[in-house]
Each structure stands twice: as C-alpha cells, then as structure tokens.
Amino acid sequence: MQEPGPGVTVVVVTWQGAHLLGPCLDSLARQTVPHDVLVVDNASTDETPDVLARYPQVQVVRTSRNLGFAGGAQLGLEAARTEFVALLNNDAWAEPTWLSALLTAAQAHPEAAAITSLLLLDGTDPPRVNNAGVDLLPTLYGADRAAGAAPEDVARPAEVFGFSGGAALLRRGPAREVGGFPERYFLYYEDTDLSWRLRLAGWTIRYEPTAVVHHRHAASSDVRSPLFAFHNERNRLLLLVRCAPALPAVRAWVRFCLTTASLAVRQVLTRPPQQPHNLRIGLRTRVLLSAGRLLPWALGARRRIRPGKGRPVDPGLSG
C-alpha cells in the first residue's frame, strides 16, 4: 500500500532518448508514494512516441522544436499543478524510495526550496558518486559535489549550494516566483542559476543521501563535445552577470577575454598540439559572441535578481 504524501509531479525531459526512457519510467512506476509523471519530449524524431505509448499513465508534452534541458524543465515547471515538482534525467533510474525520501526531507526542512539527490554512476563497482549537489567553487565555476567519492563519504544530509537538475525535488511556488529555469541557457548551468536565485531570495538547498538515483553519466550528452564546452563556458559567464556580485562577475569576463587572447597569441607563435574544446580559439570566440548578444538580457534579469537580501553566496558550503 502506498504512503500518502503531498502532490508531486515528476518531470522527465527527453530528446532522442527512446533507448533510455524505459528504465527511467519503469523506476518511477515503482515509487512508494503517489505522484504524476510528465514527460517533455523535445521534438524527438526517434522512436520516443512509441516508447511513451507503452505508458498511458504518463502525461506527455511535445514541443515543436528542441528547447534543450533548460526550456524543457521550465515547460514542465509551468505545466505542473502540484505543490512539488521533481526532476529526473531520462538517462537515470530511481530507487523505489527516492521520491519518498525527497518529500520527507522537504517536510522536515520547510526553509528548503529544493532537495537534491544522491546520484550514483550506474554500473560502477564499487559504487561511486556522480553528484551529491552542486558546489560553487572559489573560481565561481559550478561543479558536481563529491564526484568520484564513495557514497559513505556523503552519507549525511547537508545544506549545499545548489541542486542537480538530474534528480531533485523543487517547491513549485518558490521556483516559479524567482523566475524558474533560464530557457536561453538551453543546456548546463540552468540548475546552478536557479539555485543561486533561490538562495538570494532567502531559501536553502538541501542534500538528501537516502534519495538514491543511478545515472548513466553522459548517456544523453557528451561532456567531451564542443556542444558541452560551448554551453558550459557561455552559460557560466551569463550566470555570473545575472547572479554574482559585480566585481567577481567583471573579473571573470575579463579573465576569459585575456585567456582567449593569450591562447590566440600562443597558437600563432608555437602552434601547440590539439587543445581541449574549451581552450580552442574558435569555440571561445563563439562563446564571447553569443554571450555578448545575450548580455542585455542577462543585465536586465540582474536588476530583478540583485541586490538580494537572502542567503549570501558561501563557497564554504561546497565542501
């Protein structure tokens, strides 16, 4: 018999993920608390509709174009009508008590706008952590908290800087009040941006180690690809404009420009071997051009986001 609980909708964003959806949706069917499931299909052209047809209990929203994870998650946040919205990656599967553990933590911490899960790398022996929340590093880069660690190293609940969009529970009201996910990011840093704004609004973010999810890391996107490098670098610059204190944000932009110029000079003088994508001049130039085009949008959002009178940014939470 299922335990009673507050209303929750689990949002799964997918694109070309027919080969991934089955285990994800099967794991949601095994959850021990009542919930709704909403799949946002980002205009997939593979067999995704055929897979979803096997799950008549799942609500499906199909988009006319690929909105990325950020746009899909925002669409799910807007479409849900429950008190809580949970996010689960299409390349992940949740243990049966995952949702129950998140809801219990949320009820125990009414000051928390989000509860993030323990994501374990699927198939590793011994088990290894993929993510236990999001760190904000002293460099103001976001990072997977405790990545590569043993699960017992992060066995205690904790306040963390941010939640992972791969597996987390959000209070729908606060998330919508601060603007939800920044759709223009498309991919990456959208969860860190929303986490930062929730903190500036006075909310906390919690990590719950008993809410366990197994993640096929990079099954739906390649972290070694130019796509990852472009959005990761560009969205970090936009995040800092929107959310960070002014001086660190300016310094980060200047440092990115100076590093790009230095790499260009080095390339002309020494012709170094092939560089990682994030150090290639062409990609960094595209990052600057795209971030520059979006700068008026980011500055306009900043006027609404800062100055905040909520919880300050504390990289010390990233430990």
Question: What's the pLDDT score for residue 88?
Answer: 98
Identify the band that residue 279 occupies on the pLDDT scale cut at 50, 70 and 90.
confident
Over range 233-252, report the average pLDDT: 96
Closest to 310 (Cα-Cα) out of 42, 26, 133, 113: 113
Helix intervals (H) in the chain? 18-29, 48-52, 68-79, 98-108, 172-177, 190-200, 226-243, 246-270, 281-305
Return the pLDDT at 310. Answer: 47
pLDDT of amino acid 312: 52
The residues, ordered by sequence, that sit 6+ positions from 241 with a Cβ below 8 Å of its Cβ are 249, 253, 295, 298, 299, 302
Q: What is the mean pLDDT of residues 265-293?
A: 87
Percent of the chain scored above 70 by pLDDT?
A: 91
Q: In residues, how long is the chain?
A: 319
Mean pLDDT, the chain, rounded, equals 92
Residue 2: predicted pLDDT: 41
Distance CA 73, CA 182 (A): 10
User: What is the structure's pLDDT at 8?
Assistant: 98
- pLDDT per residue as tens digits for the range 13-26: 999 999 999 999 99
Q: Answer whether 0.75 is exceeded by the pTM.
A: yes
In whole angstroms, what is the distance from residue 235 CA to residue 233 CA? 6
Query: 220: helix, coil or strand?
Result: coil
> For residue 266, what pLDDT is reported?
84
Identity of residue 309:
K
